[in-house]
Every structure is written in structure tokens, then in C-alpha cells.
């Protein structure tokens, strides 16, 4: 008697760029949404605003220092907004199927894509409102263009038809917006000028912010390559990424050495090497994603302590 064979269905071919259907998952609660906002990235918004404020106070310049709180609101909302936007864009593209880090809302099916997109839009809108208040108070109308560019950069990092984050330009954007624009911009809206201290601080915190992205992309280098995501780490390889990370983490301490000549308390910021050095060592020798996640956490903490510490040193 012949053995009956099951009818085979032809494999389902997914259109390139189309999202894979997310597996059923429990709807995200408050904790899930907080996790999706990626609190560990928030130091990248706090540190530059603190440094920009400290840089103008170092010269005891007159200004509207309360605007620093609005600048902080803009930075935080943009950071959270870009995190939700990345969750949405990577999720609908199917890129997050290759992730080794924490699960995302869209890719896991814990939230509908439209809901995650709406969360991103709300954050961008609130950032725009805070920025508009700054523009009205300072009457620097050209800052509207800077704000629009920041929101566009946040969206097109992974959004749109040709996201620049998929082409290896993410680190440059992070340096410009979470380094130069956030730090020098805070100084400008407070006092109407950008001091030399502010430019040096922009360089320093911009390097640390870029280092955060480098180690994050180093962790996902194989998965991103498989997904067709040509990040800088994919382009220069693991060894190049480890070297670049070390350079980016070293430059801020060269800045501290220079500023310590004029602000002796700045030398205390060298204590932050207790966080930065292990991050560099782990990144240089890591063989697992878990190790790189630890390096990522240390780098984010470095950004926060470095920013607050140097801002305080310049202020006293």
C-alpha cells in the first residue's frame, strides 16, 4: 500500500522591503512603552544641554537661563521620538527580525505599527511646540529651520525610502544634532552667543554620542548586514568599529585636559575614565552581544556623568 504524502504548499515569497507578519504577542503595558522609549539613550539628550548651559555660565554671561529647561524638553522629546520612529520603521521594514537586543514593540507585535508611529509623531510635535516657544522668546526665527532639520533627521534616520542610517551616516547625524546643535544651540538660546567652551563641549559630547551608536551597531553588525542595513560598522567592519569607538571615547578626555588649564576643577572629570575605560576595553575584546550591551550601557552612563561633571566644573 502506497504511503500517502501531504500536499506541499509553495513557499510564500515576501515582497522586498515588506514587513514580516509579527507573531502574536501580549499588548504592551506601561512598562513596555517605557522600555520602548529606551531610557538608556536619554543621557545623550541631557548631557549636551547641561554642557551648553555650563559653558555660558562659565563666562558669567547674562541670559535667560530658564530657556535651558525648554531646550532640555526639546532634546528629550526628540530622543524619545526618534526611538519610537526607529521602532516603527525598522519593524515595518522587517529589519528588527534580525535584532539581538531587546524586542521592539512593532516587530514583536506588542503594539500596532500605527500606534507606535503616532507615539513618535506626538513626541516630535511636542518638541516642535517647545522649540517654537524658544523661537518666540528669543526672536531668532532662523532657529525654526534648525528645528525642522532636527525633526527631519530624526525621522529619516530609519524612515523614508532611503534612510541615511541604512547608508552609514548615522554617526555623523548624531554628532551634529546631539553634539553641536544641542550644546552650542543651548548656549545660543540662553545668551545669544556660542562661547569657545561650548564648541569644545560640543566636540566632546558629540564624540561620546557617536560612540554610543558605534557600539550599538557593532553589536548588530552581522544582523544588519543580513538585513541589508549598511551601517558604518557594516562598512568598516568589526575591527574598524572597535578602533573608531576607542578614538571617539578618547577625544573627550583630550578636551578635558585642555579645559583643565583654564578651569582646574575640570581635571576631576578624568574620574569618568573609570566608566569610559572599561567600555573601551570591553568593546575591544567582546565576543558576545551581551558584552557589547554592557559596553553600551557604560557608554551611555559615561555621557551622562561626563556632561554633568564637566558642566559643573565650568560653572564653579
Q: What is the 8-class DSSP label of residue 169?
A: -
The closest of 51, 88, 69, 115 to 305, measured between CA atoms, is 51
**Assigned C-alpha cell, 98:** 534580525
101 vs 221: CA distance, rounded Å: 12
Query: Has residue 32 got a pLDDT over 60?
Result: yes
Write out pLDDT tens, residues 129-161: 999 999 999 999 999 999 999 999 999 998 988
85 vs 297: CA distance, rounded Å: 21
144 vs 29: CA distance, rounded Å: 35
**Are the C-beta atoms of residues 166 and 98 closer than 8 Å to each other?**
no
Query: Has residue 21 got a pLDDT over 60?
Result: no
The confidence band for 25, taking pLDDT boundaries of 50, 70 and 90, is: low
Burial status of residue 164 (CB atoms within 10 A of its CB: 0-12, 13-18, 19 or more): middle
Residue-by-residue DSSP string for 78-105: HHHHHHHHHHHHHHHHTGGGG--SSPPH
Q: 253: part of which helix (H) or strand (E)?
A: helix 232-259
Whether the model clears a pTM of 0.75, i.e. scores above it, the answer is yes
Amino acid at each position: 500500500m502506497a504511503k500517502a504524502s501531504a500536499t506541499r504548499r509553495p513557499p510564500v515569497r515576501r515582497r522586498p522591503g515588506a514587513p514580516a507578519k509579527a507573531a502574536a504577542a501580549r499588548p504592551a503595558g506601561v512598562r513596555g512603552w517605557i522600555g520602548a522609549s529606551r531610557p538608556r539613550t536619554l543621557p545623550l539628550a541631557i548631557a549636551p544641554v547641561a554642557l551648553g548651559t555650563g559653558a555660558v555660565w562659565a563666562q558669567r554671561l547674562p541670559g535667560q537661563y530658564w530657556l535651558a529647561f525648554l531646550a532640555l524638553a526639546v532634546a528629550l522629546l526628540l530622543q524619545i521620538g526618534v526611538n519610537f520612529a526607529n521602532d516603527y520603521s525598522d519593524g515595518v521594514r522587517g529589519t528588527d527580525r534580525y535584532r539581538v537586543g531587546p524586542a521592539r514593540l512593532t516587530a514583536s507585535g506588542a503594539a500596532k505599527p500605527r500606534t507606535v508611529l503616532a507615539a513618535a509623531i506626538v513626541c516630535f510635535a511636542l518638541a516642535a511646540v517647545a522649540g517654537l516657544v524658544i523661537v518666540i522668546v528669543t526672536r531668532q526665527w532662523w532657529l525654526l529651520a534648525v528645528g525642522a532639520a532636527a525633526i527631519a533627521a530624526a525621522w529619516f534616520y530609519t524612515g523614508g525610502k532611503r534612510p541615511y542610517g541604512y547608508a552609514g551616516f548615522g554617526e555623523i547625524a548624531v554628532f551634529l544634532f546631539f553634539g553641536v546643535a544641542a550644546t552650542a544651540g543651548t548656549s545660543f538660546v540662553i545668551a545669544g552667543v556660542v562661547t569657545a567652551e561650548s564648541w569644545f563641549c560640543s566636540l566632546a559630547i558629540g564624540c561620546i554620542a557617536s560612540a554610543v551608536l558605534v557600539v550599538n551597531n557593532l553589536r548588530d553588525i552581522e544582523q544588519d548586514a543580513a538585513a541589508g542595513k549598511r551601517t558604518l560598522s557594516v562598512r568598516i567592519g568589526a575591527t574598524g568599529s572597535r578602533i573608531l569607538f576607542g578614538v571617539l571615547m578618547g577625544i573627550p578626555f583630550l578636551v578635558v585636559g585642555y579645559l583643565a588649564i583654564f578651569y582646574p576643577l575640570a581635571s576631576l572629570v578624568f574620574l569618568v575614565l573609570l566608566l569610559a575605560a572599561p567600555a573601551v576595553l570591553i568593546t575591544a575584546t567582546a565576543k558576545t552581544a551581551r558584552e557589547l550591551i554592557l559596553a553600551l550601557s557604560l557608554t551611555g552612563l559615561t555621557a551622562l556623568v561626563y556632561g554633568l561633571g564637566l558642566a559643573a566644573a565650568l560653572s564653579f
